[in-house]
Chain A
């Protein structure tokens, strides 16, 4: 089970300070606001927290496919840890001036593979298959989308997959088990 989320920082609309203050209150707990207080410039704190929460949500949807919208029910504990329906998820968080990317996986599992790139003419699914076939040339892959995406390997096993896109950026992550 994995999840990921990418945010194109240039695709974030300019809004009033009041809007961002309300956004912060609606999506972050007090503890999260304190934890991320040093990242308030350009609302980076909001988007770091949001990327983590979205990636956790996507993982939780794989655990239990039901829709819910409760951003504060998932809590960022540190830049590499969060909790939600489970007490602890591992987080890999990467950001620069262009994008923010969060990857979530279950504790005790190894870190998943991640790929981030700018959108082009090639569809995301085609990119995923090309990357898999290049990395594992002896194996056969098919992507399936039944409630949530997975990779069918050699018609035998399923690898967890999570896809994300926003603005100019796309990302996918997968686990080889």
Chain B
């Protein structure tokens, strides 16, 4: 899957949990999920689960701990989907 495609799919997963819509409209790969988008920590677990289901992957604890920014999340998903090839 292309990185751009992952970013777009991830944005649709994140959107329902965003509490700062203005920040979401200006989302970039450097956007911090908790600090910038004001996603709460329980919803970060929801995002991880939604991403697992959408991309048919399993995100382990070690990877989940690193998912702080959009770039982190895309990198982890890219790596896990590449592993399937």
Q: Which residues of A contact B (CB under 8 A)?
A: 7, 13, 15, 18-19, 22-23, 26-27, 50, 54, 57, 67-72, 166
Contact = CB atoms under 8 A, between A and B. Distances in A.
Contacts of A166: 40
* Interface class of chain B by DSSP: helix
B68 A72 contact: no
Nearest to A22: B49
Nearest to A166: B40
Interface string B29-52: 000001000001110111011001
B61 A23 contact: no
Contacts of B44: 69
Contact of A69 (B46, B53, B67): B67
B76 interface: no
Contact of A26 (B34, B64, B68): B64
A68 B65 contact: yes
B40 to A, nearest CB: 7
14 contacts: A18-B53, A19-B46, A23-B49, A26-B48, A26-B49, A50-B42, A54-B42, A57-B41, A69-B41, A69-B44, A69-B64, A69-B67, A69-B68, A72-B61
A22 B65 contact: no
Report, as a range, how many residues of chain B touch the other chain.
10 to 19
A interface majority secondary structure: helix
Given A23-B49, A50-B42, A67 B61 contact: no
Contacts of A69: 41, 44, 64-65, 67-68
Nearest to B44: A69
Given A69-B41, A69-B44, A166-B40, A19 B65 contact: no
A50 to B, nearest CB: 6
Q: Which of B40, B45, B61, B65 has most A Cβ within 10 Å?
A: B45
B41 A26 contact: no
A50 B48 CA distance: 16
B22 to A, nearest CB: 20
Contacts of A57: 41
Contacts of B40: 166
A57 B34 CA distance: 15
B59 to A, nearest CB: 9
Contact of B41 (A13, A22, A54): A54
